[in-house]
Amino acid sequence: MKILLLFALLDIFGLISSPAWDANAKFSQNDLYILREKSILRGHYKDVASESNGALLSSARSNSFYRPNIDNSPLRNSLYFSDTDATAHTFIGLQQSIIVEFLQAYEINTIRFWMLDHDIRRVAKMQIFLIGVNKQIESLIYEGDVQPGVRSLKFPDQLVSKVKFYNNGGNIIDIYMSMIKIQAYYAF
């Protein structure tokens, strides 16, 4: 008890220093501020190509939608419908693009997309471009064949305002490129 009282008096009079309140913390306040700022730039690590996060299909007027009266957008959140006969999707002809425009420029490093997969022969020839903050400079991140199904594409961290999917060869069956879902986000 006397030792505890002695330490308390020494601390009160400033003769010894007590450990800092955040001595066991992994991050300083400055580190937390930087992480918070990065989180905003990275869209809080969520899908920034989602309609619920403000993204839009800026090429919608030139794109075709498979089924009337349902949400065919590749940016929608609901993927499945009660009608199982056909999957809602967006499709484009040769030399056309599906362009996803974000609410603001985000730092992303992953794009995930779902190509129409009713037929395994629908291997599409496409290019994927990232459009920077100035909305003019396009950088090619992928060119080649894409199998039906879900595909993830990782690339170096970049500030991006739009993503463009360009149909440069159609698929083996016809001239169209069909997409069910598009996502863009920052992944660790």
The pTM for the full model equals 0.81
Half-sphere exposure of 116 (CA within 13 A, CB side): 24
Coil/strand/helix, residue 96 = coil
Q: How far apart are CA 29 and CA 46, in angstroms?
A: 24
Looking at CATH, the fold of the domain delimited by 45-185 is given as Jelly Rolls (2.60.120)
Q: What is the pLDDT of residue 24?
A: 65
The answer to whether 13 touches 150, Cβ cutoff 8 Å, is no
- What residues contact residue 119 under an 8 Å CB cut-off, 6+ apart? 148, 173
Domain spans, the chain: 45-185
Tens digit of pLDDT at every position of the chain (188 positions): 777 777 676 677 666 665 555 566 677 888 889 999 999 999 999 999 999 999 999 999 999 888 777 788 889 887 666 566 667 889 999 999 999 999 999 999 999 999 988 888 889 999 999 999 998 899 999 999 999 999 999 999 999 999 999 999 999 889 999 999 999 999 98
> Kind and range of the H or E element at 32?
helix 29-41
Q: How far apart are CA 187 and CA 157, in angstroms?
A: 10
